[in-house]
């Protein structure tokens, strides 16, 4: 029972950190390199994920890392997808924007396939947008 409580607290902590990072991102311009470095540092300290190394992984390896190494739940992955999606909209470099969009799309595809029958309309909308489709 104590092990379950510890596991639940860790899941809750990860969810709070992802929410905090998303909120932080939404309230900043994120166009200047200093703000990006500060965000990457927060990402590393809060989630123990090196953002630059993560972005250097191919999309499949990045997803495997989040699911198997970091053990993020589907709900956490949805938040991570939102974080990557918002970063893609805020970053000024086209190549980095493409990397972030690709990772967000792969995460959203995983969420949609593994949501246990739950339909997340925001995820469907963002997948369509990232693929350039209209609803």
Q: What is the pLDDT of residues 4-33, one digit of tens each?
A: 777 677 777 777 777 777 676 666 666 677
Exposed e or buried b for every residue in 103-120, given b needs 16+ CB within 10 A? bbbbbbbbbbeeeeeeeb
Number of domains making up the chain: 1
| Threshold 0.75, pTM exceeds | yes
Contact in structure between 76 and 101 (CB atoms under 8 Å): no
Q: What is the pLDDT of residues 85-94, one digit of tens each?
A: 988 888 878 8
pLDDT at 53 (0 to 100): 94
pLDDT at 31 (0 to 100): 67
**Residue numbers of the domain that contains 64:** 2-131
Does the pLDDT of residue 135 top 50, yes or no? no
| Alpha helices per DSSP H over 1-135 | 2-26, 33-47, 51-56, 59-64, 74-90, 94-113, 121-131
């Amino acid at each position: 029972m104590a092990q379950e409580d510890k596991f639940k607290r860790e899941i809750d902590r990860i969810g709070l950190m992802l929410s905090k990072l998303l909120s932080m991102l939404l309230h900043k311009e994120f166009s200047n390199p200093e703000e990006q470095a500060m965000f990457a540092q927060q990402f590393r300290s809060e989630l123990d994920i090196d953002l630059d190394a993560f972005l250097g992984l191919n999309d499949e390896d990045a997803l495997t890392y989040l699911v198997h190494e970091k053990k993020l739940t589907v709900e956490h992955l949805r938040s991570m997808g939102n974080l990557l999606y918002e970063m893609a909209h805020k970053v000024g470099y086209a190549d980095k924007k493409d990397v972030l969009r690709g990772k967000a799309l792969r995460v959203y595809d995983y969420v949609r396939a593994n949501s246990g029958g739950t339909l997340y309309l925001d995820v469907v909308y963002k997948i369509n947008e990232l693929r350039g489709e209209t609803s």
